[in-house]
């Protein structure tokens, strides 16, 4: 693939919109908010899922994927994340209570387990297909991360859910190959307290954070808007001219090219 495909971009699930889910290569996705409805019959091509954190809107299709894969696949579905994200999956999802423990259940007719959980180290690159993913710490939940996604030397930064986060801007300053920032804006600026409490951004907070960045040459696109507030958030983003260098509010199905 020569682009990242945004399969789910919403901050809420609605009848017409999925939650966070990016296809970064033929076999690899980041987050699992909208895999079943978008892949359809191609769902069995998914081999690798990199997680940003364990909130439900980012993991919701994984249990159903495991359920489909156990009779159909020959090799484990590999799920990558920081330690606390994987611990959450084990403790709260694949615990034989909420869902079967597919980490212990063997693929029918084969030797490998249905899922394999693989721990990532912060800022240590991991290459799958021909894409390199480098997790970096964000400010959202214990163990949340974003990814620098690189292919053929060109980079896109995906913060996923985050509040104010110095490391985002340090990395952008350090790495001029990043041509696009994809971040989140969940609430209108009047909800600053809610944004702080839930560790999400508003347009005003994003504008303030941008003062930490020495560069102005990358595109800024946003997603994860809470469905009830899409119109006022877009009005604010436009008034503040935040979607610079041809950035946009991403919707399901949008694509961003790796080369720029």
List, as one string, the DSSP characters of 34-71.
Answer: SSHHHHGGGGGG--EEE-S---HHHHTTHHHHHHHHTT
CB 235 within 8 A of CB 243: no
**Integer angstrom CA distances of residue 192 from 56, 137, 164, 222, 224:** 23, 22, 12, 17, 16
Q: Closer to Zn ion by CB, 148 or 160: give it.
A: 160
Radius of gyration, alpha carbons of the chain = 18
Residue nearest to Zn ion (CB): 55
Q: Least distance from C-beta 230 to Zn ion, angstroms?
A: 15
Q: Closer to Zn ion by CB, 26 or 139: give it.
A: 139
Binding to Zn ion (CB under 5 A) within 41-70 occurs at 55, 57
For residue 219, what is the enclosing H or E element?
A: strand 219-223
Q: Least distance from C-beta 36 to Zn ion, angstroms?
A: 18
Q: How many residues in the shown chain lie near Zn ion by CB under 5 A?
A: 3
Q: Does 151 bind Zn ion (CB under 5 A)?
A: no
The binder of Zn ion chosen from 61, 161, 209, 252 (CB under 5 A): 161
Q: Closer to Zn ion by CB, 18 or 155: give it.
A: 18
- Rounded Cα distance between 131 and 151, Å, is 5
Q: Closer to Zn ion by CB, 58 or 73: give it.
A: 58
Judged by the rule CB under 5 A, the positions of this chain that interact with Zn ion are 55, 57, 161
């Amino acid at each position: 693939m020569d682009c990242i495909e945004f399969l789910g971009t919403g901050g809420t699930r609605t009848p017409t919109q999925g939650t966070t889910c990016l296809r970064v290569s033929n076999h690899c996705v980041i987050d699992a908010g909208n895999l079943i409805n978008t892949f359809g019959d191609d769902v069995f091509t998914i081999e690798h899922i990199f997680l940003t954190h364990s909130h439900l809107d980012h993991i919701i299709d994984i249990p159903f994927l495991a359920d489909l894969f156990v009779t159909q696949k020959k090799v484990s579905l590999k799920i990558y994340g920081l330690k606390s994200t994987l611990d959450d999956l084990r403790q709260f999802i694949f615990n034989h209570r909420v869902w079967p423990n597919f980490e212990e259940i063997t693929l029918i007719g084969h030797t490998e387990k249905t899922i394999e959980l693989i721990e990532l180290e912060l800022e240590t690159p991991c290459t799958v297909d021909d894409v390199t993913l480098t997790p970096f710490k964000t400010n959202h939940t214990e163990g949340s991360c974003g990814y620098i996604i690189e292919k053929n030397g060109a980079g896109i930064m995906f913060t996923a859910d985050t509040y104010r986060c110095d490391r985002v801007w340090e990395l952008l300053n350090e790495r001029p190959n990043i041509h696009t920032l994809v971040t989140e804006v969940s609430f209108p600026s009047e909800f600053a307290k809610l944004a702080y409490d839930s560790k999400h951004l508003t347009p005003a907070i994003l504008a303030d954070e941008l003062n930490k960045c020495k560069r102005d040459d990358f595109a800024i696109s946003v997603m994860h808007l809470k469905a009830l507030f899409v119109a006022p958030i877009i009005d604010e983003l436009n008034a503040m001219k935040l979607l610079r260098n041809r950035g946009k509010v991403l919707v399901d199905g949008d694509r961003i090219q790796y080369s720029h």
